[in-house]
Amino acid sequence: MKPEQIKLVKKTWKILMGINPKIIGDAFYSKLFTDHPAIRKLFPSDMNQQYIKLVDMLTSIIMNLDHLESVSEEIIAMSNRHTGYGVKPAHYEMVGSALLWTLQKGLGAEWSDDIENAWIACYQSLADTMIQNN
Ligand code: HEM
């Protein structure tokens, strides 16, 4: 990721977190499960904790984007847990699309091509790390 992309991801994530992490989590999983109903069964029936866990993990990764190596152990451990949940490499693209959709809806008029490209680069490097280590 280019330094200006890291800045854009940090800035836009902060805006979204100002809305309400629960609303962001709800929007994200609703989109994911509507587009890919078969994925729903991998998750627990009560998703409230999941919203918080996902948002907290993304926050911790995004805050460390300038020096990702400091969270690489955390990402590898998370990737191993995901293999245990039944997550397959093909699922990452589905999750990435739902995430981009959520970000776009959340940012509304502030969304731009630069922001989109920055988030694609961010998610790609995260997903690549997770897939390589699962
Ligand atoms: C870069 C992408 C992803 C991030 C940052 C992420 C983050 C998380 C976090 C923080 C948790 C909480 C539990 C834990 O830490 O192990 C979790 C659980 C889970 N994630 Fe992900 N995840 C990602 C991709 C995916 C993908 C592609 C799938 C595929 C459908 C997926 C499915 C699940 C499932 C099934 C759980 C377990 C719920 C449970 O049984 O409690 N995740 N994820």
Question: Is the Cβ atom of 122 under 6 angstroms away from ligand 1?
Answer: no
- The segments of the chain whose pLDDT lies below 70 read none
How far, in Å, from the CA of 96 to the mean position of ligand 1?
Answer: 12
Choosing from 53, 68, 85, 131 the residue with most ligand 1 atoms within 8 A of its CB, the one to mutate for a pocket test is: 85
pLDDT digits (tens, 9 = 90+) for 78-108: 999 999 999 999 999 999 999 999 999 999 9
Ligand 1 atom 43 nearest Cα: 54
pLDDT at 133: 77
Q: Where are the alpha helices (DSSP H) in 20-71?
A: 21-35, 48-63
Residue 20: the pLDDT is 82
**What is the total count of domains within the chain?**
1
Question: What CATH code is carried by the domain that includes residue 80?
Answer: 1.10.490.10
Query: What's the confidence (pLDDT) of residue 121?
Result: 96
pLDDT of residue 68: 83
Q: What separation in angstroms does the CA of 133 have from each of 26, 128, 129?
A: 28, 8, 6
Domain membership of residue 128 as a residue range: 3-132
